[in-house]
Amino acid sequence: MIDLHLARALRSSGLAWTPAPGDRFVVPDRDMDADVFVISDLAVDLHEFPTGTVIGFNGTTEWALDSIEQQAVLWLPRENQLRELLGPDFVRLEQAADGFTVVALHEDEPTAYADPDVECAYAKAVLAALG
């Protein structure tokens, strides 16, 4: 899973997120960084208001948080989402003994982005593409 440092860097680089079922996120800086939530039609819903998107927690009687604004959470994109963000610049994924390497075009040149975690390797490639 992508680490919080890379997730923050992606957001800071301007990566837009339209929340959808299956998306993972954390509520950072509230002693909850290790708790990963998943948007689901069953327990977590998106509510659109004129002031912005609110993520609603339904049926969570054991937890007092009913909803939280989208900008207060940190998206943890999945491998397939990161690969899709690379689009035609994605060249290939390589597996090595110490992890994974994503090869993507950067300034029209194949460039390698390595990490022990496959999603982090993809995130590094996306960060480079965002400039």
CB count in 10 Å sphere of residue 88 = 7
pLDDT digits over 96-128, tens only? 899 999 999 999 999 999 999 999 999 999 999
Domain-embedded: residue 6? no
Are residues 61 and 95 located together in one domain of the fold?
no
Q: 68: domain range?
A: 18-76
Are residues 71 and 25 located together in one domain of the fold?
yes
Distance CA 100, CA 76 (A): 18
Are residues 23 and 71 located together in one domain of the fold?
yes
Query: 75 with 16: CB under 8 angstroms?
Result: no
Whether the model clears a pTM of 0.75, i.e. scores above it, the answer is yes
Are residues 48 and 86 located together in one domain of the fold?
no
Is it the case that residue 59 has pLDDT exceeding 80?
Answer: no
Q: Which residues pair with 63 in a beta bridge?
A: none
pLDDT of residue 31: 87
Q: Which of 51, 76, 101 is the last residue of a domain?
A: 76
Is it the case that residue 65 has pLDDT exceeding 80?
Answer: no
pLDDT of residue 80: 96
Domain-embedded: residue 111? yes
- The number of domains in the chain is 2
